[in-house]
C-alpha cells in the first residue's frame, strides 16, 4: 500500500536580489542537510568552538563572548538590549530608517529611557553631530545601524567608539546587512556589542544571529541588579553552553549551525578583503547600469551600501507590476520599500554569494524588459 | 588555483536515542536543503498557511492563532508567558522536574506573582489535588508540563481545563516532548496556550517551536495594558505576518519551515493514532528488554512516557563510561540525568522517526554489551 503524499509544495529556484534572504550556495545547503546530531555531542561542541573562532575573524574581534543566538537578526538586536540594559538606563539611539526605529521599540520594552537623534531617511549622520549628542546625553549605551537595510545608507561609525568610551557609554552596532560584505571592525572601532544575521552577506539561510560583546559589555551584564528579562536570550546562561562549561541551556538549532559553519568557511576561504572588493565592484557595475536606465538612488550620494541598492521607483512606473514581472517571468526577487519608502523605492540586494557579474547582468536585462 | 578548505568538521551519523534532538528522516533533511526563497514570496506564504493547517491537525485544535515561533522550545515557553501574562498577574505553576522549574523562572522574569505546587521528581500530580489548588489560588494562568523530559513522567491533564475555566484562569500546557508521540488534545482538554518543539516526536531538526493560543488567550493578549516585553516574540505583531496581512515582522527561518512542513506531512500521512500506537508498542518492547537487564524506571509506574524512558542507572555502574561506550562503539546517543537526576538516571528516547523495533533491538544489544 502506498500512502498518498500530503500537499507537496514545490518551492521554486529563485534569484534572490532583495534585502535578504540572499541566495545560499550549494555547499551551505548540503551542510544544512547533514544528519542531525546531539547538542552535547563532542563533535558538535567542536563545531561550536570553530564557529566562534570563525565569527571572531569575520567580526574582526578578540571578544571571547562571540556566538550565534538561536533566532534571526531581530533576536540578536533584542539580545543586546535585554542583556546590557537595565530598567531606567538612558539609551541614545540614532534613527534614519526602520531598523533604528526598531531598536527604540526594543529598548523601551526593556525599560530604557530612550533619547533619539534623527536624520532623514536615506541620509547618513555626520559623525561629529553624533559625537556631540553622545557627549551631551551621556547615555549608558549608544546604538546605531551600520547598514540601514530600509534605506541603503552606509553609516560611517569609525569615530563613535572613542566618544562612547569617553562618557562611559556602551557602543551598540547593528551590522545585520554589512557583516561579510563591507568592513566591520568591532575592535578597531571600539564597538562594545554588535549583532548580525546569517541571511545577508554570509549567504546562509535565516535563523541565527551572530553577536559579539566586548569585556565592557560583559562587565555591564555581570553587574546587573535585575535578572535579564528574557530567559531564552539570557547570555549569562547561554555563554555557559557556548563556553567550556557546556551547561545545557536550550537545544541549539543544530542543522542551522552546520550551515553557518560552512558559510563562514566560504567567507574566510575567499578572504574578507577580496569579498569586500567583489561587493564593491558589482555594486559599481549595477549602479552604472541603473544610471543608463535613468534610475536614481534614494540613499545619500557617496554613502550607498555596496550590498543593498535602494533606488527610486521611476515616475509613472507601478511598483507591484514590475516586481511581479521580475518574479514571474525571471524568478527574480527584489525588495519593495519599507516604512516611509513603501511604494516609492526598490531594494536591490547583491549580497554574499549573490553579488556576481552574472546577477548584475541578469537583473539589468530583466529590469529593462519590465520597464519597457 | 584551488583554495584550501578551512577546517572541515565531519559530523557523524548517530542514532539519536536521547531526550532530543531525535533522528530526522531523509525526506525532512532533503526539504531543509531546498533552495532558500524570500519570506514574502507567494509560494512561501502558501507554505506557511499549510504549516498552520497541519499544526492545527497535530495539536487537534481549531485555534486560528497556531504558528511556529522562530526559536527552539524554550522560546515557545517564553512566548506564552510574555504575551499572556502582565506584571503582577498571579500564576500557578506545577513543578515536578526541570521544565516546570524553568516555567517559574520565565514567569517571574515577566513580573508574574508565581505560586507553585510541587511533586517529587518522577511522580505525576493527582488531578484532584491540582484542581483543588487552582480553585484555591484562582490564578490568571495555570501552567503544567505534559511530558516532563527530565523525569519521563506522563502527566494526566484532561480535567484541568474545566477547572481553569471555572476560576477564569488560562490553562498553559508544555507539550514539547509529547506532541506527535502521544495524544495532545488542545481543544478537548480546554488548553488555552501550548508550545512544543520540532526536535522530539515531530522528527525535525531543532529551531522552531509550534505554539497555539485559544480565543481566550488571544483576548488576554488583546486586552494588555502594557506592551509585550519581548519584541521578537510579540504575537500581536507576529500574527500579522502569519495572518492574511502578511505584514513583515522578522525574517522567518525559511529552510527550517520547509523542514517542519515536510515533518508534519509525514506525521499526518502516518496518522496520529497509528503514530501513538507505534510509540506505545516500541516503548513496551524496550521496557520488557530493560526489565531483563534489571533496569528500573525513575518515573512513576503507570505514568511512563512512551517516547522518553527515564531509568535508574544500576548500582555500581558508571554513567559516563557506559554513555561513552554507546557513543564511541555504536554511535548511539542516550541522555544523562538533568538536575536532581544528574548521574542517577539515563533518558532513552524513542521519538518520532526514532521509535522503531530496529532501534529498540540495537539499543538493548549495545546496552547489554556496555553493561558487561
Contact yes or no for A217/A171 (Cβ under 8 A): no
Q: Is the dihedral of CA A62, A65, A71, A74 positive or negative?
A: negative
Q: Of the candidates B25, B339, B326, B10, which has an alpha carbon nearest to the alpha carbon of residue B199?
A: B25
Spatial CB neighbours of B185, under 8 Å, sequence gap ≥ 6? B60, B158, B191
pLDDT single digits (tens) B272-316: 999 999 999 999 999 999 999 999 999 999 999 999 999 999 999
pLDDT single digits (tens) A22-56: 999 999 999 999 999 999 999 999 999 999 999 99
Find the mean pLDDT for residues B59-77. Answer: 98
* Alpha carbon distance B88, B106 (integer Å): 14
Closest-CA distance of chain A to residue B213, Å: 20
Nearest to A205 among B78, B110, B253 (CB): B253
Closest-CA distance of chain A to residue B321, Å: 15
Find the mean pLDDT for residues A216-223. Answer: 98
Find the mean pLDDT for residues B325-354. Answer: 96
* Alpha carbon distance A260, A28 (integer Å): 8
Residue A278 three-state SS: helix
Kindly provide the ipTM of the predicted complex, given to two decimals: 0.97
The nearest alpha carbon in chain B to A104 belongs to B231
All cell numbers assigned to B152: 519521563
pLDDT single digits (tens) B195-219: 999 999 999 999 999 999 999 999 9
Cross-chain residue pair B21–A251, CB shorter than 8 Å: yes
- What is residue B1's predicted lDDT score, i.e. its pLDDT? 43
Cross-chain residue pair B199–A23, CB shorter than 8 Å: no
Find the mean pLDDT for residues B351-359. Answer: 98
* Alpha carbon distance A250, A276 (integer Å): 35
pLDDT at A3 exceeding the cut of 80: no
| N- to C-terminal Cα separation, chain B | 54
* Alpha carbon distance B333, B352 (integer Å): 16
Boundaries of every domain in chain A: 15-20+272-370, 26-268
* Alpha carbon distance B95, B111 (integer Å): 19
pLDDT at A1 exceeding the cut of 50: no
The nearest alpha carbon in chain A to B103 belongs to A231
Cross-chain residue pair A38–B18, CB shorter than 8 Å: yes
Q: Looking at A71-80, A105-114, B9-18, which range is the least confident one?
A: B9-18
Beta bridge partner(s), residue A346: A311, A336
Cross-chain residue pair A13–B32, CB shorter than 8 Å: no
Find the mean pLDDT for residues A223-239. Answer: 97
Nearest to A230 among B21, B46, B78 (CB): B78
- What is residue A245's predicted lDDT score, i.e. its pLDDT? 86
| Alpha-carbon radius of gyration of chain B | 21
What 8-state DSSP symbol labels residue A171? Answer: E
What 8-state DSSP symbol labels residue B233? Answer: T
Q: Which parts of B112-179 fold into alpha helices (H)?
A: 127-137, 160-167
Nearest to A14 among B38, B47, B70 (CB): B38
- Which of B329 and A4 is assigned the larger pLDDT? B329
All cell numbers assigned to B333: 546517543
Cross-chain residue pair B227–A109, CB shorter than 8 Å: yes
Global pTM exceeds 0.90: yes
What is the CATH code of the structural domain delimited by B15-20+271-371? 3.90.1150.10
All cell numbers assigned to A222: 555581570
pLDDT single digits (tens) B79-102: 999 999 999 999 999 999 999 999
Q: Average pLDDT over chain A, rounded to whole? A: 96
* Mutate: best of B13, B27, B36, B70, partner A, most A CBs <10 A: B36
Spatial CB neighbours of A126, under 8 Å, sequence gap ≥ 6? none
What is the CATH code of the structural domain delimited by A15-20+272-370? 3.90.1150.10
Class of domain A26-268: alpha beta
Confidence of residue B246 (pLDDT cuts 50, 70, 90): confident
Q: Average pLDDT over chain B, rounded to whole? A: 96
Question: A105: part of which helix (H) or strand (E)?
Answer: helix A98-109
Contact yes or no for B118/B167 (Cβ under 8 A): no
Spatial CB neighbours of A65, under 8 Å, sequence gap ≥ 6? A212, A213, A214, A217, A218, A235, A239
Confidence of residue B245 (pLDDT cuts 50, 70, 90): confident
- What is residue B6's predicted lDDT score, i.e. its pLDDT? 62
CA dihedral of residues B107, B111, B112, B116 (deg, nearest 10): 60
All cell numbers assigned to B182: 502521544
User: E-strand spans in chain A?
Assistant: 15-16, 65-69, 90-95, 113-118, 141-145, 147-148, 153-154, 170-174, 193-195, 209-213, 308-312, 332-333, 335-336, 345-349
All cell numbers assigned to B335: 541522555
Q: How far is CA B25 from CA A152, A214, B272, in A?
A: 41, 41, 17
* Alpha carbon distance B170, B214 (integer Å): 9
- What is residue A4's predicted lDDT score, i.e. its pLDDT? 56
pLDDT single digits (tens) B146-191: 999 999 999 999 999 999 999 999 999 999 999 999 999 999 999 9
* Alpha carbon distance A250, B79 (integer Å): 14
Contact yes or no for B143/B91 (Cβ under 8 A): yes
Cross-chain residue pair B251–A206, CB shorter than 8 Å: yes
Amino acid at each position: 500500500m502506498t500512502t498518498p503524499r500530503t500537499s507537496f509544495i514545490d518551492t521554486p529556484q529563485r534569484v534572490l536580489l532583495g534585502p535578504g534572504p540572499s541566495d545560499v550556495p550549494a555547499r551551505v545547503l548540503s551542510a544544512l542537510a547533514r544528519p542531525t546530531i546531539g547538542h552535547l555531542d563532542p563533535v558538535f561542541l567542536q563545531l561550536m568552538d570553530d564557529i566562534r573562532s570563525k565569527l571572531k575573524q569575520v567580526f574582526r574581534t578578540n571578544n571571547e563572548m562571540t556566538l550565534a543566538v538561536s533566532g534571526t537578526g531581530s533576536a540578536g538586536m533584542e539580545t543586546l538590549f535585554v542583556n546590557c540594559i537595565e530598567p531606567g538606563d538612558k539609551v541614545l539611539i540614532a534613527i534614519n530608517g526602520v531598523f533604528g526605529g526598531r531598536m527604540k521599540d526594543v529598548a523601551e520594552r526593556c525599560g530604557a529611557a530612550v533619547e533619539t537623534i534623527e536624520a532623514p531617511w536615506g541620509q547618513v549622520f555626520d559623525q561629529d553631530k553624533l559625537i556631540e549628542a553622545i557627549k551631551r546625553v551621556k547615555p549608558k549605551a549608544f546604538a546605531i545601524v551600520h547598514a540601514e537595510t530600509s534605506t541603503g545608507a552606509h553609516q560611517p561609525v569609525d569615530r563613535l567608539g572613542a566618544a562612547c568610551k569617553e562618557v562611559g557609554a556602551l557602543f551598540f552596532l547593528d551590522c545585520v546587512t554589512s557583516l561579510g560584505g563591507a568592513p566591520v571592525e568591532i575592535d578597531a572601532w571600539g564597538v562594545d556589542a554588535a549583532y548580525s544575521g546569517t541571511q545577508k552577506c554570509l549567504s546562509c539561510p535565516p535563523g541565527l544571529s551572530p553577536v559579539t560583546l566586548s569585556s565592557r559589555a560583559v562587565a555591564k551584564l555581570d553587574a546587573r541588579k535585575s535578572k535579564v528579562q528574557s530567559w531564552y536570550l539570557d547570555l549569562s546562561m547561554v555563554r555557559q553552553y557556548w563556553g567550556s562549561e557546556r551547561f545545557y541551556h536550550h537545544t541549539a538549532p543544530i542543522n542551522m549551525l552546520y550551515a553557518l559553519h560552512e558559510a563562514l568557511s566560504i567567507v574566510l576561504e575567499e578572504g574578507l578583503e577580496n569579498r569586500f572588493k567583489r561587493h564593491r565592484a558589482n555594486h559599481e557595475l549595477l549602479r552604472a547600469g541603473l544610471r543608463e536606465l535613468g534610475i536614481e538612488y534614494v540613499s545619500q550620494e557617496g554613502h550607498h551600501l555596496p550590498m543593498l541598492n535602494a533606488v527610486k521607483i521611476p515616475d509613472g512606473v507601478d511598483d507591484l507590476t514590475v516586481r511581479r514581472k521580475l518574479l514571474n517571468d525571471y524568478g527574480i526577487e527584489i525588495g519593495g520599500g519599507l516604512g516611509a519608502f513603501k511604494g516609492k523605492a526598490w531594494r536591490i540586494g547583491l549580497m554574499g554569494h549573490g553579488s556576481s557579474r552574472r546577477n548584475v547582468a541578469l537583473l539589468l536585462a530583466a529590469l529593462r524588459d519590465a520597464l519597457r
